[in-house]
Amino acid sequence: MKISTKTKLALIFLALACFIGVMTSLIVNSLITNQIISEAQEKVKEDLNTARYVYASKIRDIDRAIRWASIRHVLKRGLKERNIAPIRDELSDLMTEEGLDFLMLTDRRGVVVYRLHNPKSSGDSLIDNPFIKGALEKKGVSGTCVLSREELLREGEELANKAALKLIPTPKAKPTEKLEETSGMAIKSAHPILDFNGEVLGVLSGGVLLTRNYEIVDLIKNIVFKNVKYKGKDTGRATIFLKDVRISTNVLDKEGNRAIGTRAMKEVQEQVLEKGLPWIQRAFVVDDWYITAYEPIKDIQGKIVGILYVGILENKYALMKERLILVFFLLSMSAMLVALTVSFLLSWRFQKKSP
């Protein structure tokens, strides 16, 4: 069957238009995707900076409270006289006002004189504890630490039980045979108690257990994400990990409970905990994909003991990308239709004028 010149020209124009349309769509799809993901990653970087500031601010608040309490005359007198009675009410008020989970006095040898949360437990030496050791050298020390179950039990069984978490099987997490996390991560401060001659009488130390404490992560969410929701889900989340285990989070599981005891994705663990590098890209978080930012949390000796995390629900950005691509596709198809119409008319006129 012989194909007319007009039909050949129309087919050539159609093939050319389709090829250009497809290539342009692929290029634009890549550009839009990269641009949106890049903007999302820049945002979570900024959000992580805010999260870090909130976390550091809590450390400063506790440090300030311990520092001011350490210069009270009643503590100096009580330590000198080895009389706890006048100290008890003072420390009890401090613990209540600052929301501390543990508070203790040690003497100049690093021996525990009094634990407010567990008064029956005393007499053990903390001379090798980096917080107490630093304070005995007349330095204020504050930061993150990990407390073993033995250390937590000294502060009281209630605190040890609060720290204990059953590990929950988590998709994409690194395989583990461990079933429970019994250690706890805490923010702690220690300051020397000095007499009027500047000699060390002892140390006041105290802090907050972060396991099952949601003050920091919820404050981060409120400041950074302002409780914005997408299809009924919060668009932004924050988490504090002990190693790779969520101990404080507003990430929710399928039942709507805080997903404590779940674990970080395998690739995140290897990047952040093992290599000590931030992770700024998409990650699977419990049951959905997020644009995420993770960074190591270090103790006062520089050892990586956990992770600070913020993330934005990826679905929000995926919908934005789909809408932009759809708009471009409709515009492209309209332009292609116009081009085909014009090419058909031109080829028809060309054939009509041909002898």
CA distance 155 to 177: 28
Alpha helices in 139-295, H assignment, sequence order: 149-155, 157-163, 215-224, 266-268
List the chain domain ranges: 42-54+215-314, 58-209
CB atoms within 10 A of CB 336: 17
Q: Model's pTM, two decimal places?
A: 0.80
What are the backbone angles phi and psi of residue 213, rounded to the nearest 5°?
-105, 115
Are 247 and 212 a contacting pair, CB within 8 Å? yes
Q: What is the pLDDT of residue 312?
A: 84
Q: What is the pLDDT of residue 339?
A: 63
Instruction: State the angle between helix axes of 314-353 and 5-70 in degrees (0 to 180), rounded to the nearest 10.
Output: 160
Q: What is the pLDDT of residue 218?
A: 95
DSSP per position, 27-50 = HHHHHHHHHHHHHHHHHHHHHHHH
Q: What is the pLDDT of residue 35?
A: 54
177 to 137, 166, 174: CA distances (angstroms): 42, 12, 10
Q: Which residue has the tokens 């956990």?
A: 306
Q: What is the pLDDT of residue 154?
A: 94
Same fold, 42-54+215-314 and 58-209: yes
Domain 42-54+215-314 fold is Beta-Lactamase (3.30.450)
Strand 165-166 to 180-181 pairing: antiparallel
Matching CATH number, 58-209, of 3.30.450.20, 2.40.50.140, 3.65.10.10, 3.10.105.10 = 3.30.450.20
In order along the chain (355 residues), what is the average pLDDT of each group of 10 residues?
Answer: 57 62 57 57 86 96 95 86 83 89 94 90 93 96 97 94 95 91 97 92 96 96 78 80 96 90 94 95 77 94 96 66 55 62 62 54
Are 325 and 32 a contacting pair, CB within 8 Å? yes
Q: What is the pLDDT of residue 21?
A: 60
Q: What is the pLDDT of residue 225?
A: 82
Q: Which residues of 102-125 are buried (b: 16+ CB within 10 A; e: fewer)?
A: bbbbbbeebbbbbbbbbeeebeee
